[in-house]
Chains A and B, each alone.
Chain A
Amino acid sequence: MAAEKKEKIILDVAYQPQVRTNRDTRSLMLDVIIALIPTLAVTIWQYGFHPLLVVLVSMASACFFEWGYRKLMKKDCRVGDLSALVTGMLLAMTLPTSVPVWLPVIGSFFAIVVVKQLYGGIGKNFLNPALAGRAFLLASYAGIMGRWQLPNAMKGIDAVSSATPLSYMYGDSALPAWLNMKSMFLGTIPGCIGELSALALLIGGIYLIARKVISWRIPVSFVGSVALVTLICGKAGYGHFEWMVDNVLAGGLLLGAFFMATDYVTSPVTLNGQLLFGCGCGLLTVLIRYFGGFPEGVSYAILIMNLCTWAIDKAFRRYPFGATKEDIAADKAERKAARGAAK
């Protein structure tokens, strides 16, 4: 009886390992969504439920385009891995709080279909889809993308037209009194949906690092390099330290450093490469802020570094366990000779 029963069992065969970690793509993406909730909460606190609607429309439309494109192209459905949901959410995070609800639909179409799916879907895009979507919207709807609201906490103060802290800092006028370190830390400032509160972003970022979704390398090197350069190259009228802290807290730096630059697909996988990537992002951010036409530089800095990812990964090859100094020297000499031959 037992023998008969056994005959019917067809055994699977697989190479090792036979066990896998519980963490899959879906759970990593879910963690990113969870990490953004504090930020979203601050935005709702300061701007009511309109931003939440923008975020939800953005997420829904991103999922719809992901599903629709793959259905149309007769490819397998990948909505379940939640990556489109994260893209939609991050895209909405980079939009001003006052945008009309149809704007993120256009943005997520560009992000999901043009940037992500046309290059082969998850894991194949070379630009961060959410940031590319933002760049597209910024170029196409500059007016809407530059319209800022006053936060609830500041209603009634004497401000004619509100502007973000960065536009004050890099404009002609000095920061008004109600835009100080405390307001930037807590998020009672005008700005994009996801860049208001440095505190909420830090909580989210630390959650991601603690859950091992991202490593510390990119955020630390990104924020660190911005802090270092702004500390050295201050601005007249600001104290060195004050200027540095304002630069770190204002704008999308923390959102970019924790959530955008750490995007798996478009950042280097090599460990030293990640440090270089973060430093590159930081330097470009400062460069754009100091000399560029926009006060904000984070998104373009990340997009530019996205394009360098492949080259960075190639440059930081690792040597296997047990390779001696002589082996490494020999390999380097060989590569140098190969480069010489190529010339």
Chain B
Amino acid sequence: MAFKFKGGVHPDYMKNPECPETVIPAPDQVVIPMAQHIGAPCKPLVQVGDIVKMGQKIGENPAPVSAPVHASVSGKVVAIEPRPHPLGDMIMAVVIENDHLDTPCNDLAPLTEEEMNDSETILARIREAGVVGLGGAMFPTAFKIRGGIGKVDKVIINGAECEPYLNGDHLTMLNYPEELLKGVELVRKASCVDKIYMGIEKNKQDAIDLLNGIIAKNNYPIEIVPENVKYPQGAEKMQVKAVTDREVKPGGLPAGVGANVVSTRTAYAIYQACYEGKPVIERIVTVGGSAMKGPVNALTRVGTPFGYLAEQCGGFVKTPRKIVLGGPMMGLCATSFEAPTVKGTAGVLYFTEEEDKMVPNPTCIRCGKCITVCPMNLEPVFMYMYYTKHDYDNMAKYHVTDCFECGSCSYNCPARMPLTHAFKTAKLMFQARAAKEKAKAEAAAAAAAAKEANN
């Protein structure tokens, strides 16, 4: 029985799990950005002209918060240069000309049964295979799990998939239940806990039944927690609340209350890494939106450009206005058709004016609907007011920095105020101000030190 959190919205779900998993042929050229995770970007390990195999490691950084990247096709490296990243910037990327042979690379051998009982070996493999949070956050999984060992007693596999459109987690549960649960077991062993929980929204009842059957058959120490269908059920803090009734402190991490959350697709990627020796080079991407003919659940190689992906999924029926990465509630926009999918791209939605409900000069009517839906118990109407006045003290008082940008307030706003946008900007303003003050303090300290030295 899941615990409830306050607030939340019920957007139009638009989910199509009956849409089968469609394999998208690898493009002639893949673009693999060196930053597909939170943390230190990778440095390319290959040179222009090198021949690489599918799954070969092509970028790495020894920093602890990092994850290597691998070639998603076999072929020849034709360029190593900054290319458009899905989120806007030009980021160093390795461009590989596909030879369409998919010559496999055998650097990662499947782990043996004994190795799969050792937390350290599993974690090393998770890191080597470049597994990051595939729900979209792209936080290096090995670092997350390692940080929680000893502190964390409840590990949760996040199968809520509360974002509209997205079906990747649901399809993984339906199509690869055995493999997924083996992956979940690996997460449990890596985290050194006796029991692991899976939080799944009740709109995936077929998956819950299927998984429960297999769990009973194999006696896995896994408990499935059916959760209410409500956005943002899959947000890390809400997921922890739903399963354990613990509330992550403002500004804190789930590990602070002894919980860790790993997404479903990540658990499956861990299975692939350990049992098959396959790094993260492909994933299910839900392609949809009103510009497309219909939704496609596309098994896509990492590094597939968005333009090519749309063509392979049936092409456009209308001119797209936006490319949304991930779900529509928290997804950001891509700026270019040339930008490629990355590990965390759970969906690529091509939106037209149909989805766009912006109005010129939005004006708040103080209806308070933002307050009733905020899962963090914040008061967006006042936060926005103080944001427009650049009133940092009051913004802090109203906890702007605790907003995790789920978008519920903006979604529910009848006046179409850009609330989430404002809070995102406000958080950046706080960061910038903190950096400025730090620099000022350092300069003052340096000046004082210089004065001291002169005396």
Contacts and interface: CB of A to CB of B under 8 A. Distances in A.
A23 B413 CA distance: 8
Contacts of B252: 322
B365 interface: yes
Interface in A291-340: 313, 317-324, 327
Interface string B387-412: 00000000001110010010110111
A273 to B, nearest CB: 9
Interface in A237-272: 264-265, 268-271
B366 A12 contact: no
Interface of A: 2-3, 6, 9, 11-25, 27-28, 76, 78, 83, 121-123, 215, 264-265, 268-271, 274, 313, 317-324, 327
B438 interface: no
Interface in B397-434: 397-399, 402, 405, 407-408, 410-416, 418, 420-421, 424
> Ordered nearest first, which 3 A-B pairs have the shortest CB separation?
A269-B368, A17-B407, A15-B421
A26 to B, nearest CB: 8
Contact of B355 (A19, A83, A121): A19
B414 A18 contact: no
Contacts of A264: 365-368
Contacts of A19: 11-12, 164, 328-329, 355, 357, 411
22 contacts: A2-B311, A9-B319, A12-B333, A14-B322, A14-B333, A14-B358, A15-B420, A15-B424, A16-B407, A17-B407, A18-B333, A21-B414, A24-B359, A24-B414, A25-B365, A78-B363, A122-B363, A264-B367, A269-B367, A320-B250, A320-B378, A321-B241
B312 to A, nearest CB: 12
Given A19-B164, A24-B414, A123 B364 contact: yes
A16 B361 contact: no
Contacts of A3: 307
Given A15-B420, A21-B414, A322 B355 contact: no
A269 B315 CA distance: 46
B348 to A, nearest CB: 12
Contacts of A16: 328-332, 405, 407, 410, 420
B248 interface: yes
Interface in B298-326: 307, 311, 315, 319-324
B336 interface: yes
Contacts of B164: 19
Interface of B: 5-6, 9, 11-12, 88, 164, 237, 241, 247-250, 252, 307, 311, 315, 319-324, 328-337, 349, 351, 355-361, 363-368, 371-372, 375-379, 381-382, 397-399, 402, 405, 407-408, 410-416, 418, 420-421, 424
Contact of B366 (A11, A14, A269): A269
Nearest to A3: B307
B322 A12 contact: yes
A56 B204 CA distance: 51
A20 B365 contact: no
Max chain B CB contacts within 10 Å: which of A11, A265, A268, A322?
A322
Secondary structure at the B interface, as helix, strand, loop or mixed, is loop
Contacts of A23: 412, 414
Given A17-B407, A19-B357, A20-B411, 6 more contacts: A18-B329, A21-B412, A24-B414, A268-B368, A270-B368, A322-B250
Nearest to A215: B372
A123 B365 contact: yes
A24 B332 CA distance: 23
A27 B414 contact: yes
Counting chain B CB atoms within 10 Å of each CB, the highest count among A13, A17, A321 belongs to A17
Contacts of A324: 247, 249
A74 to B, nearest CB: 13
A322 B237 contact: yes
Contacts of B372: 215, 271
Given A12-B333, A321-B247, A76 B360 contact: yes
Nearest to B397: A317
Given A16-B420, A76-B360, A123-B365, A11 B332 contact: no
Given A20-B357, A269-B366, A15 B412 contact: no
Given A264-B366, A269-B366, A271-B371, A18 B355 contact: yes
Contacts of A15: 332, 418, 420-421, 424
Given A13-B322, A19-B12, A322 B365 contact: no
A20 B329 CA distance: 9
B80 to A, nearest CB: 23
Given A11-B334, A322-B250, A18 B416 contact: no
